[in-house]
Structure formats: C-alpha cells, structure tokens
A and B are shown apart, each in its own frame.
Chain A
C-alpha cells in the first residue's frame, strides 16, 4: 500500500523568509502524481502545486516550488517570500493512476508565518 509521510508536524517561519516542508512516500509504481494541498483555518482545501512523476522538471507556481527526487521518493515544498496568508496546514498527497481518485494524504504540517 502507498504511504505518505510528513515528518514535520509543525513549523514556523518569519514573514518574507523561505521555508521548506518535507514529504516522503512509498510506492512500487512508476507512474503517479504528487500534490501539495493547503488547508487554511477556514478549512477549504486548496491545491498548491502538482507534480507528475514522469516529468523530471520540478513544478513551480509563483512563490511555491517543489524538489522532486524520484529515486529517493521525496517531494518537498519550498515557499519563498512567506506571507501571513500562507499560515495553514499543508498536506502532501499521492495518487497512483491505477487507483483512480483514491488520494493518499500525509498527516500534514502546520505552518505558521510570523510577522
């Protein structure tokens, strides 16, 4: 079974600084998709970034970028120029296309951006 691990339950960062959230996963599949979702205190889950395993290039969305290391099964999220609005729970998620829409989520990292 696929598993997703986020080893940092809580993190904090000063506004305008850079922070990296870690995620590792376990799968025997070669084709899969990885996501970072953000859940602010209002509870609406929001897609932050997505990475296809077959793509070598790391995905980037504005201030958010990933470091995808397929061999190491690692998928970290870097947030640059952190803003107060980035305060949220961040979930790393995995889906194996063989299993349709059955996302496996990590336990989450609570990120606090400090003024």
Chain B
C-alpha cells in the first residue's frame, strides 16, 4: 500500500506571495491533518480534515487554510507569506476514528525569502 505523499517536496517563495501544498493520503484514509515543524516551535497542529470538512483547528492565523476533496486528497494554502512561515509542513493521514494512528508524509520544505 502506498504511503502518504506530499507535493512539492521543496518550495521557495518570497514574502507576500501565496502557496498551495498538496497531500495524498493512504488509500482508504479519510482524515488528513497538517502540521508545521520549525526548530523553534517544534511540531504544531494546523488543522484536520475529515470527509471534506474541517474537524479540528489549531491556533494559526487565518492566512493558513485548507480543504479536502472527495477523494480525501487535501491542500493547504498559506496567503501573504511571512518569513516566519518557513518550515517543514507535514501532513498525516488516518482512517479518522478517535483512536486511530496517523501516518506521516515526507513533508514539504517551504522557504520564504
């Protein structure tokens, strides 16, 4: 079974631009969660989508948004990029039950110049 895939793997953007990251979950998984990983803040939860609906949301500004499609693939969008948005963005998928285990993708490394 194929694992979680994320595209692109690397991105370089400038301040003020916007960016869209994509995540394809493991087949059969309906939940996709997004995390931001930085050296200073560690792993922080952004949001989770389940069956095309945002089910949980972390404490990030509205510039961070996401969506999920009917095939469970998910996209994350960051508008008006700031230098502090430079991070590794990880997505994780699961079946979506409360007791489930998440499986992580390799991440997208975003650099904001």
Residues of A within 8 A of B42 (CB): 105-108
Chain A-chain B contacts (Cβ-Cβ < 8 Å), number? 62
Least CB separation from A97: chain B residue: B98
Residues of A within 8 A of B33 (CB): 101-103
Bound-complex Cα distance A104 to B50 (A)? 18
Which single member of B43, B56, B90, B103 contacts A100 (CB below 8 Å)?
B56
Least CB separation from B44: chain A residue: A105
Which single member of A44, A46, A101, A102 contacts B100 (CB below 8 Å)?
A101
Chain B contact-residue range equals 20 to 34
Interface contact B88-A43, CB-CB below 8 Å: yes
B24 within 8 A of A: no
Least CB separation from B43: chain A residue: A105
Interface contact A101-B88, CB-CB below 8 Å: no
Chain A at the B interface: mostly helix, strand, loop or mixed? mixed
Given A105-B42, A108-B42, A100:B106 Cβ within 8 A: no
Residue-wise, chain B 73-113 has the 8 Å CB interface mask toward A (1 for contact) of 00000000000000010101010101111111111000000
Binding site for B on A (CB under 8 A): 33, 35, 37, 42-47, 50, 52, 91, 95, 97-108
Question: Could you jot down 8 A-B contacts, CB within 8 Å?
Answer: A44-B106, A50-B101, A99-B56, A101-B94, A101-B100, A104-B45, A105-B42, A105-B43
Least CB separation from B97: chain A residue: A97
Residues of B within 8 A of A44 (CB): 104-107
Q: Measured between C-beta atoms, what is the minimum distance from B31 to chain A in Å?
A: 5
Given A35-B101, A91-B43, A107-B42, A101:B96 Cβ within 8 A: yes
Which single member of B50, B58, B94, B99 contacts A52 (CB below 8 Å)?
B99
Apart from A102-B45, A103-B102, A105-B43: 4 A-B pairs, beta carbons within 8 A: A37-B104, A43-B106, A102-B48, A108-B42
Least CB separation from A108: chain B residue: B42
Bound-complex Cα distance A50 to B102 (A)? 11
Q: Measured between C-beta atoms, what is the minimum distance from B40 to chain A in Å?
A: 10
